[in-house]
């Protein structure tokens, strides 16, 4: 059976790896990913300077997923350049992916240039969609600003694949607006979706919210967001499927979940909330379940199912 994937010149030995966020901040966490069955090592979304993020409590697991308002806590981009070099020495055949986030256009351009010039990094995911920074909007909901920023990013010299992590869109018109922007540039991939932002979960026993930052609002992940992620993957696949790779993130906790999102149009999948809950053992389990389900359905290659949703 064939379950590899290719983005430009980057080969993924399998289609399942980690999303930026859970368990990918420290050298120890990144090394654990490299020693797991994750098909790549995605590093934490990094900013020009290190950040402590939002005050605690800022993450809580719940029955159907998780809510978080971490606030982009990270060690700063220079540390992740160091981490990438160390990881590439240990895991030379594993794709190393930098996730970058800025608070101005100048920030983004600085980070893109830095990682384009770092030989240990294979690919760049530009985060346009973090919902958990106080006072900062999600860039990808402002189409004019997104267009201007993406245009400037592609003026930075370098040939590494660049893609964008997008927020959930709730209206097909907005998905089409973003797709039309992406078509204008040599975008290699998009990741759908970041957590569903600004949600509230209350503990009825204590009569309090579960997290403290941002007026108790946080990004929702897990089972809650799977139908939203599926819809975004499908809409973008129908608009962009022949132009760039679509990576699914949101609500994966089983091999059947992976199968569904490939049907919708994803070529690779990222694990988030389930990685928080189960640690790196989740990669082996979900991969095994996916292989078994493919075998049960008599499929031998992911290309046989990507985007092949049988429409009514």
Which helix (H) or strand (E) segment holds residue 110: the answer is helix 105-116
Query: Considering the domain boundaries, does residue 141 fall inside one?
Result: yes
Indicate which CATH number applies to the domain containing 170: 3.20.20.70
Q: Which two tokens stand for residue 209?
A: 């919210």
**pLDDT attached to residue 133:** 79
Task: With cut-offs at 50, 70 and 90, classify the pLDDT of residue 157.
Answer: very high
Q: Who has greater pLDDT, 63 or 98?
A: 98
Residue 243 lies in a domain: yes
Whether pLDDT at 150 is above 90: yes
How long a stretch of residues is the chain?
A: 312
Average of per-residue pLDDT across 3-13: 96
User: How sure is the predictor about 7, in pLDDT bands with cuts at 50, 70 and 90?
Assistant: very high
Q: CA–CA distance from 79 to each of 44, 153, 210, 214, 246 (Å)?
A: 11, 22, 32, 27, 28
Report residue 242: phi and psi, to 5°. Answer: -90, 0
pLDDT of residue 311: 86
Place of tokens 């927020």: 167
Question: If you average pLDDT over every residue of the chain, what do you get?
Answer: 96
Give domain status of residue 64, yes or no.
no
pLDDT of residue 135 exceeding 80, the answer is: no
pLDDT in tens, 241-266: 889 999 999 999 999 999 999 999 99
Q: How confident is the model at residue 230 (pLDDT cuts 50, 70, 90)?
A: very high
Would you say residue 161 has pLDDT above 90? yes
- Do the domain assignments include residue 65? no
Q: Is the pLDDT of residue 1 over 90?
A: no
Q: Is residue 76 part of a domain?
A: yes
Total domains in the chain come to 1
Average pLDDT over residues 150-168: 98
Indicate whether 174 belongs to any domain: yes
Q: What predicted TM-score, i.e. pTM, was given to this entire model? A: 0.96
Q: Give the catalytic positions in this structure.
A: 129-130
pLDDT above 90 coverage of the chain, percent: 96
Residue 159 domain boundaries: 5-54+71-197+223-304
pLDDT digits (tens, 9 = 90+) for 268-283: 999 999 999 999 999 9
pLDDT of residue 126 exceeding 80, the answer is yes
Q: Which helix (H) or strand (E) holds 50?
A: none
Query: How far lies 207's CA from each of 63, 69, 185, 204, 210, in Å?
Result: 18, 19, 49, 5, 10
In a domain, 213, yes or no: no
Averaged pLDDT for residues 222-242? 96
pLDDT at residue number 149 = 97
What pLDDT is recorded for position 2? 78
In a domain, 300, yes or no: yes
Average pLDDT over residues 118-126: 98
């Amino acid at each position: 059976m064939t379950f590899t994937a290719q983005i430009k010149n980057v080969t993924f030995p399998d289609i399942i790896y980690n999303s930026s966020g859970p368990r990918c901040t420290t050298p120890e966490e990144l090394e654990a990913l490299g020693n797991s069955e994750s098909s790549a090592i995605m590093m934490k979304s990094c900013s020009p300077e290190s950040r402590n993020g939002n005050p605690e409590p800022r993450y809580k697991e719940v029955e159907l997923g998780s809510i978080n308002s971490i606030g982009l806590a990270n060690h700063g981009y220079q540390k992740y350049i160091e981490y990438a070099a160390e990881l590439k020495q240990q895991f030379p055949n594993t794709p190393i992916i930098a996730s970058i986030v800025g608070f101005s256009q100048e920030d983004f351009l600085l980070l893109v240039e830095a990682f384009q010039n770092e030989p240990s990094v294979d690919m760049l995911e530009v985060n346009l969609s973090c919902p958990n920074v106080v006072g900062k909007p999600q860039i990808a909901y402002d189409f004019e600003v997104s267009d201007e920023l993406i245009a400037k990013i592609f003026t930075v010299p370098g040939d590494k694949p660049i893609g964008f992590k997008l927020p959930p869109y709730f209206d097909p018109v907005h998905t089409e607006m973003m797709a039309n922007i992406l078509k204008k540039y040599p975008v290699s991939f998009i990741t759908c979706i970041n957590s569903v932002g600004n949600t509230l979960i209350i503990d009825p026993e204590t009569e309090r919210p579960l997290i403290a930052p941002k007026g108790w609002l946080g990004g929702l992940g897990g089972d809650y967001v799977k139908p939203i992620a599926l819809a975004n993957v499908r809409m973008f696949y129908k608009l962009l499927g022949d132009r760039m790779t679509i990576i699914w993130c949101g609500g994966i906790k089983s091999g059947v979940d992976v199968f569904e999102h490939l049907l919708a149009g994803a070529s690779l999948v990222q694990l988030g909330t389930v990685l928080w809950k189960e640690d790196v053992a989740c990669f082996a389990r979900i991969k095994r379940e996916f292989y078994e389900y493919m075998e049960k359905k008599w499929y031998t290659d992911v290309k046989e199912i990507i985007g092949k949703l049988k429409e009514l």
